[in-house]
Amino acid sequence: MFTVYSFSENENDRCPHLVLVAEKTDFNEVVNVRFHSECITGEVFHSRKCECGQQLDAAVKFMSEKGRMIIFLRQEGRNIS
């Protein structure tokens, strides 16, 4: 279980960056953070040339078990007017 927060420099951004905070995260201790850059070919299409999807899946599993957080950075050019 994660709590998801979104953030952006622009309040009208329809594709903000995300922060996933695992339920077991204790902010009274040092918190491990993974920065993950969005990759549609690896995460959605499971490209064999890209390990991004596998890395994100492993990070989500690890972070949910250990109580950590993931900062999911959306790619540039993501805003659609």
What range defines the domain where residue 26 resides?
2-73
79 belongs to a structural domain: no
Confidence tier at 67 by pLDDT (50, 70, 90)? confident
C-alpha–C-alpha distance, residues 76 and 56, integer Å: 19
Residue 36 DSSP one-character state:
E
Helices (H), the chain: 40-43, 52-66
Indicate the pTM of the whole model: 0.76
Which residues on adjacent β-strands are paired with residue 37?
73
Which CATH number belongs to the domain containing residue 48 in this structure?
A: 3.40.50.10990
| Dist. CA 5–CA 76, nearest whole Å | 19
Residue 20, in any domain of the structure = yes
φ/ψ region of 18 (left if φ > 0, alpha if ψ in -120 to 50, else beta) reads beta
Kindly state whether residue 78 falls inside one of the protein's structural domains.
no
pLDDT of residue 70: 92
Assigned domain for 81 exists? no
- Does residue 30 fall inside a structural domain? yes
| Tally of domains in the chain | 1
pLDDT at 76: 65
pLDDT at residue 80 in the model:
45
7-64 confidence digits (pLDDT tens): 988 888 888 999 999 998 999 999 999 999 998 888 888 888 888 888 889 988 988 8
